[in-house]
Amino acid sequence: MATVKKEGERINQFITAPEVRVVRDEGVSPGVMSIKDALALAKEEGSDLVEIVPTADPPVCKIINYGKYKFDIQKKSKEAKKKQKSVQLKEIKMRPQISIHDYNFKMKHIREFLDEGNKVKITIMFRGREMAHTEFGYELINKIIQDLENEAATEKPAKLEGKNLSAVLNPVKAKKTASDSEGSSTKKESSENTEE
């Protein structure tokens, strides 16, 4: 039986209410009883009496193994943290007069970031007299958006801010996974037809 008082839940002798409503995970719940009877019942079963709803009248206590209870709570919180993926904003910078090799290299990185579920900010940097021909930057951003139409959606359209032209792209995974699953089922059907 646990005797250490932890922050949050009160257990065993640290429960201050004179009467408590006792519940169990399985089986019939004993109902409302005095704290002495509830502690005796928990001790008889080799478990702990844990106050789970202190604001109720009378407070609700559960007869459980406290160590296992804390472990389950920690496990659930860890799983919840794993499911919460933080989306980061990654930035790719390029010049308006970019070579084909560099363009393909940057596109590879953009696709990797989108596959990881991150947003991508594409920044076209102008220098000097290039500011007189910002249309090259708009053409480049439109080409990138067109090349990524199945993988990304435009969150913020291209906007000129100082000497930089930028746009933000969001990953589109729902459409991609749906089309992949349809494509794989079509491939299976066609392979089955050829085997017959």
Tens-digit pLDDT profile for residues 132-151: 999 999 999 999 999 998 99
pLDDT of res. 27: 66
pLDDT of res. 85: 72
User: Range(s) for CATH 3.10.20.80 in the chain?
Assistant: 12-80
Q: How confident is the model at residue 86 (pLDDT cuts 50, 70, 90)?
A: confident
Tell me 27's DSSP state. S
Tokens of 65: 């193994």
Assess contact for 90 and 111: CB atoms under 8 A. no
Report the topology of domain 12-80: Ubiquitin-like (UB roll) (3.10.20)
d(CA 83, CA 50): 29
pLDDT at 178 over 90: no
Domain 89-176 has CATH 3.30.110.10: yes
Measured over the CA atoms of residue 77, residue 79, residue 80 and residue 85, the dihedral's sign is: positive
pLDDT of res. 82: 79
Q: Which residue has the tokens 């209410």?
A: 17
pLDDT at 12 over 90: no
pLDDT at 185 over 70: no
Instruction: Report how far apart the first and last C-alpha atoms of the chain are (Å, whole number).
Output: 67
d(CA 53, CA 64): 14
Q: How confident is the model at residue 80 (pLDDT cuts 50, 70, 90)?
A: confident
User: Range(s) for CATH 3.30.110.10 in the chain?
Assistant: 89-176
Report percent pLDDT > 90 for the chain: 45
pLDDT of res. 28: 74
d(CA 40, CA 33): 11
DSSP H helices, the chain, are 35-45, 66-83, 100-115, 135-147, 173-195
